[in-house]
Amino acid sequence: MAYDTSFYRLYNDYLRENTVRSNHDLIFRNFGQFTYPTRLDVVDLGCGLGEYRLFGQHAGYTGIDLNIEKQVPIFLKYDYHDLSFVGLLPFAPTAFVSLFSIECCHDAKTKYELYNRLFTEIPTLQYGLVGGFFYESKRNLETVGETGGIISYQTIEDSATFISSIFTEFRAHIRTPSKMFGEDVVEVWKILARR
């Protein structure tokens, strides 16, 4: 995988593009309104640059990522598949976010199994916010090649196939053209709420 310094530099520029920033801020505001008045102690799975820490609503925040170079209190170098990371957090998480990491790195079956595990094994979790995407011109493909030689899974599954007894899913599609990913990208945002 090419999640290197060059990729993160490009991704940082992407997050600052007007359309991207506007769309992500809209989703973050909606997530905050949806979860109100719950105190959001957020664990960010696959946090990358920590976008949610900078722009999202939270009382507590810790980012988990294998690509972290320097371990500091708000960022932990850890594999989010190993849920023992919860014992390292300074709070009991009430929400998790994964801005593209889980959705882009896993097939549909695997990511829904992980979402079910998170809600089952972390009883304090009430909400999740996850982001994915698809290219309008390639919506028939499960995987696509990305900037930096990365292969990503598109969020194209039929949500009716993955109904959970533990959480409810709310989904939104937002066109988000960008320099990094092109003109025909549709971001797929999911709010997960414990039943």
Structure-token match 């930096």, residue found: 148
Structure-token match 């939270």, residue found: 58
pLDDT over 60 (residue 37):
yes
* pTM listed for this prediction: 0.95
Q: Is 60 helix (H, G, I), strand (E, B) or coil?
A: strand
The pLDDT value given to residue 83: 97
pLDDT over 50 (residue 158):
yes
User: DSSP letter at 140?
Assistant: T
Give the C-alpha separation, 119 to 123, whole Å: 6
pLDDT over 50 (residue 118):
yes
- Say what percent of the chain tops pLDDT 70: 98
The pLDDT value given to residue 2: 54
pLDDT over 50 (residue 1):
no
Structure-token match 């709070």, residue found: 91
Domains along the sequence of the chain with CATH:
5-194 (3.40.50.150)
pLDDT over 60 (residue 93):
yes
- Cβ atoms of 126 and 193 within 8 Å: the answer is yes
Confidence band, pLDDT 50/70/90 cuts, at residue 67: confident
Q: Phi and psi at residue 152, in whole multiples of 5°?
A: -120, 150
